Structure 1
């Protein structure tokens, strides 16, 4: 569906992560949940590293629960892939490719594992695109915004 942005030419190796793009319909409008990262407090989507006991979709759904307190249904195919540099505690910048899955939120918990480490906010896909820093994630969010307009109009 989406063309992912090419990795930076300076990337020697790319690590893989999996993300959930949490969505809901409120008053007839599509909304996306963004959360803050723990270290830099940037607006991001829930994402994490591969885990031996979970497939890619399972990792994304698990991160939505741990980082944002969300329970829902994850789609089978990624909406797209975005790239960013994960800054490690050592200061090293690790190039990452993130497969992003649509996550339809069914329940939003009042308490969750990382509640005291993050802020969460529901916004329109267009507003979410303005809040995140990763270009490929912006593209994915804008594609959601255009799909929402197509369905409404």
Structure 2
């Protein structure tokens, strides 16, 4: 009985209590260069910290397509190839206008970048820069995103 209760707690009850309230989809934008594989990071609009393009779910759009659209809007990415299956996940606390934190679980989709546009919806609102994965990992604040970058 004790083992059964432990399994119910670990597999059902605990995840319900700890489940993030919201989800987002993110784009891990990658290209090959003379230095090797590089990752595109952009700055957030509010704090200027380095992040990957991400956004909230959209109606009639799956996670991979949402990630592709966010990469376009936030960084001007034209995708060469979009993986439909997430390459990983990370969690972070979204700070709301009232100062409270809302946990968010973010599914990350790899996008092989064909080219970057000079004109796109959020041009001038963010910086963008290519990093080697180990250098990108040093720039981001989210530990799980850092781990994902280091596994590349």
**Bigger shift: 70-79 or 12-21?**
12-21
Q: Cα gap change, 1:39/1:81 in structure 2, threshold over 3 Å: closer, same or farther?
A: same
Aligned residue for 2:124, secondary structure, equals helix
TM-score normalised by L of structure 2 = 0.85
Gaps of 5+ in 1: 1-9, 145-153
Q: Is the 8 A contact 1:87 1:94 kept in 2?
A: yes
The aligned length equals 135
Aligned residue for 1:116, secondary structure, equals coil
Q: CA deviation at 1:12?
A: 6.7
Match of 1:119 among 101, 116, 127: 127
Match of 1:69 among 57, 76, 91: 76
1:31 match:
38
Runs ≥4 in structure 1, deviation > 6 angstroms? none
Alpha-carbon distance in 1 for matches of 2:140, 2:121: 23
2:105 match:
97
Match of 1:107 among 105, 108, 115: 115
Match of 1:50 among 23, 48, 57: 57
Alpha-carbon distance in 2 for matches of 1:90, 1:117: 23
Match of 2:149 among 141, 147, 150: 141
Gaps of 5+ in 2: 1-16
